[in-house]
Amino acid sequence: MGLLSPWWLLAGAVGAMLPVWLHLLQQHKQDPVEFASTMLLERRTESTTYQRRIKYRLLMALRLLIVLFIALAFAQPFLRKPPALLNAANTLHIVVVDNSFSMREGDRLDAARRAANSALPSAATAQIWSFGSHVSYLTQNSTDRTEWTAAISSIGPSDEKSSFAELARALRDTARSQGRPLRVTFITDAQRSALPPSFGDLGLEPGTQLKVIDIGRKLPNYTVEAVNAPRTVSDPAKARIHATIAAFNAPAARKTVALKVNGKTLKTLTVDVPENGRASAEFTGLDGPYGWLRGEVEITDADALPGDNRFLFAVERSDPRKVLLIDEQRGSRAGLYLKAALEAGAESFFTVEEMSPGAAANARLSNYAFVILHDPGINTKGSESALKSYVEGGGAILLAAGPQTGALPAIPVAGFPVNGSRVASRGTQRFFSPANVDPTYPSLRRAGRLDGVRFFQYVAADPGPDALVAARLEDGSPLLVEKKIGEGRILVFTSAFDNAGNDLPVKPSFVPLIEQTAAYLGRVEDRSSSFVVDSYLDLRSDQKRASSVEVIGPRGERALSLKEAATASTLRLLEAGFYDVRRENDRQELIAVNVDRRESVLDPAGRENLELWEKSGSPTPASGPTPSTDSPAPDPQSYWWWAALLAFLVLLAETLVSARYLQVKA
């Protein structure tokens, strides 16, 4: 019990003096007597004694109560007791079954279901949960044993990673919302990898009784821990796939590793895995049809957990993608430089097709990986609408602004206001140098901060707060700016690629800059070849744009409802396998999802850690070190409104009593 504003009680005590003064300190009054003259009377002092008595005692008591109740309401009394202790006689039983990926080993899940049935209470209120990386509430508060057993029988294995911290958070939330103590039985294989880094994350609410039934055992296990594969290939013979084979709590062994594409075994290798170590297996070449290939690297030998013996990856095989170059001066030096840079790499994935602005207005832009606009001028106005629709639908544009662009009021498609061209004079400012170059930006990772490049002409543009400026010139003017439009993006380079406005095309950083920009805009390196279960897949970047995304899950079913397909921004990947993602503008993507390899470590946590977790919900913790909890103190339950209600009721009573006294006096 406590008071949030105890000083109001002092104010109430002072205020209580007013009714006392009204009722106790009554002035003695005498009736005047008429007398003719007092001049013949002898002057002397007369002592008068009279008794002051309390008048209207009931009325004074009511008025005192009004003042005290109002002061108590403003003092805000509260009771700080855990909700579980307020209702200690009504216990909620919760049976939790771990169905994470590691429970697929042997008959662990069957043993867990049997243990859950044995742990059911005889006559009480209970809930049944299943748990991996998140809690699934299989029943609400129920007393039906048939419902409990049916829920336990429905628990199947999942591909999720177990997280004890997430379970502890769910138990804390349930204890607070239910307002009663919990008696929890948790059946799990108690993997060490499920423990959080901080033991405080396992703290439970006071009054929660936890019993952990450990059905796990330490077993040797081999797994394909990771696969590094290209996202896109144009020449399958040059593709390289690198796999890592790991041994957890296992002796040295020789393992046979196979490379499969679309379910067909292409190659096999034999690797020697050291004790509790790792070995590498590298495959060269892929064989498959054009389009998306479903690849996997698999250990053909059986072990304790066969489900992690394969690792999925997705690769797109296609011919080199076409890049559309729109240049009003066809055959210019800029086109030659760009073609040479895009086709110079040993594994070049792009070919350049030139087109005039007029022809581009009628072209099918979705057939191109991205579009290059070089020094667009007034003639680009006719194709600007088509280019903007192309970007909004998920396309990408690289725009190089030259002298013709500097004469426009705004940069086409991007809409940046233009303040004319800036040209270096032959005086003190002979050229401009790059400054504030972000080396982490995708286009600039291998460009060496554009060291030694001299700029003689650039377009002064104002990109605004919504754009990302990746590089600037020494005077602070933007040099490389990215702006997202709808589902796509436009990258503006405020100078030309013709070796007139700058000498970048003859510098070593030009080819890496163009190669990295092409890979970024063409989405060649947009995503890795595989994801992890329980991660999130980005579906759209523009929530305001009405575009539909269709996702087909590993079992061939739709992963999104019709409403989610039109509005959802992300998709939680809860199952291992291949997801087929189909976006607008005929863009298709295959996503490979694998189980978190921390589930492959079949090493149980120590019993001492589990016992500390069980004791963390005890209202009277045992002596010795106890784990700290991150759960906040119970919120104070204020009762000021009770005091205010009592003050109102007493006020009504005081009104009635005072009215009765006035009637009697009258």
pLDDT tens readout for residues 391-413 = 988 889 999 998 899 889 999 99
Question: Nearest-CA neighbor of 434 among 465, 467, 461, 458?
Answer: 458
Q: Are 268 and 301 in contact (CB under 8 A)?
A: no
In a domain, 34, yes or no: no
Q: Is 41 helix (H, G, I), strand (E, B) or coil?
A: coil
Would the pLDDT of 629 be above 60? no
- Secondary structure (H, E, C), 166-191: HHHHHHHHHHHHHCCCEEEEEEECCE
Whether 512 and 393 share a structural domain: yes
DSSP state of 524: T
Whether 308 and 343 share a structural domain: no
CB atoms closer than 10 angstroms to residue 191: 24
Give the relative orientation of helices 108-118 and 145-153 as an angle to the nearest 10 degrees: 170
pLDDT of residue 277: 94
Whether 356 and 463 share a structural domain: yes
Whether 458 and 423 share a structural domain: yes
What is the tens place of the pLDDT at every residue in 252-287? 999 999 999 999 999 999 999 999 999 999 999 888
Pairing of strands 291-299, 253-261: antiparallel
- Residue 246 belongs to what H/E stretch? strand 240-248
CATH number at residue 210: 3.40.50.410
Phi/psi of residue 142, each to 5°? -145, 155
Residue where one domain finishes, among candidates 497, 521, 545: 521
In a domain, 285, yes or no: yes
Mention every residue, 6+ apart, whose C-beta is less than 8 A from residue 205. Answer: 82, 83, 84, 171, 172, 175, 176, 182, 617, 631
Whether 138 and 60 share a structural domain: no
- What is the rounded CA–CA span in Å between residue 247 and residue 258? 17
Whether 261 and 338 share a structural domain: no
In a domain, 44, yes or no: no
Q: Are 323 and 369 in contact (CB under 8 A)?
A: yes
Would the pLDDT of 630 be above 50? no
Q: Which two tokens stand for residue 64?
A: 């005192």
Specify the pTM: 0.68
Residue where one domain finishes, among candidates 268, 294, 318: 318
Confidence of residue 75 (pLDDT cuts 50, 70, 90): confident
Query: For the chain, how many structural domains are there in total?
Result: 5
* Parent domain of 73: 2-27+51-80+639-665
pLDDT of residue 383: 87
| Residue, of 563 and 295, whose pLDDT is higher | 295
Whether 574 and 648 share a structural domain: no
- What is the rounded CA–CA span in Å between residue 170 and residue 175? 9
Whether 205 and 107 share a structural domain: yes
Whether 329 and 466 share a structural domain: yes
In a domain, 649, yes or no: yes
Confidence of residue 312 (pLDDT cuts 50, 70, 90): very high
Q: Which two tokens stand for residue 33?
A: 């007597």
Whether 282 and 391 share a structural domain: no
- What is the rounded CA–CA span in Å between residue 408 and residue 577? 51
In a domain, 232, yes or no: yes
- What is the rounded CA–CA span in Å between residue 655 and residue 452? 92
Q: Which two tokens stand for residue 5?
A: 């504003």
Whole-number percent of the chain with pLDDT over 70? 85
For residues 527, 533, 539 and 541, what is the CA-based torsion angle, rounded to 10 degrees? -70
Q: Is 484 helix (H, G, I), strand (E, B) or coil?
A: strand
In a domain, 629, yes or no: no
What is the tens place of the pLDDT at every residue in 10-24? 777 777 777 766 666
Whether 333 and 458 share a structural domain: yes
pLDDT of residue 631: 44
Residue where one domain finishes, among candidates 318, 345, 362: 318
Write b or e for each residue in 127-152: b if 16 or more Cβ atoms lie within 10 A of its Cβ, otherwise e: bbbbbbbebbebbeeeeeeeebeebb
What is the tens place of the pLDDT at every residue in 427-479? 556 888 998 899 889 889 888 888 889 999 999 999 988 899 999 998 899 99
In a domain, 38, yes or no: no
The angle at the Cα of 155, spanning 246 to 531, to the nearest 5 degrees, equals: 40
Query: Which residues sit opposite 441 in a β-bridge?
Result: none
Average predicted confidence (pLDDT) for the chain: 84
pLDDT of residue 619: 59
Mention every residue, 6+ apart, whose C-beta is less than 8 A from residue 591. Answer: 314, 527, 531, 537, 573, 578, 579, 580, 581
In a domain, 147, yes or no: yes
Whether 334 and 482 share a structural domain: yes
pLDDT of residue 625: 42
Residue by residue, DSSP assigns 404-429 as HHHTSSB-TTT--BEEEEEE--SSS-
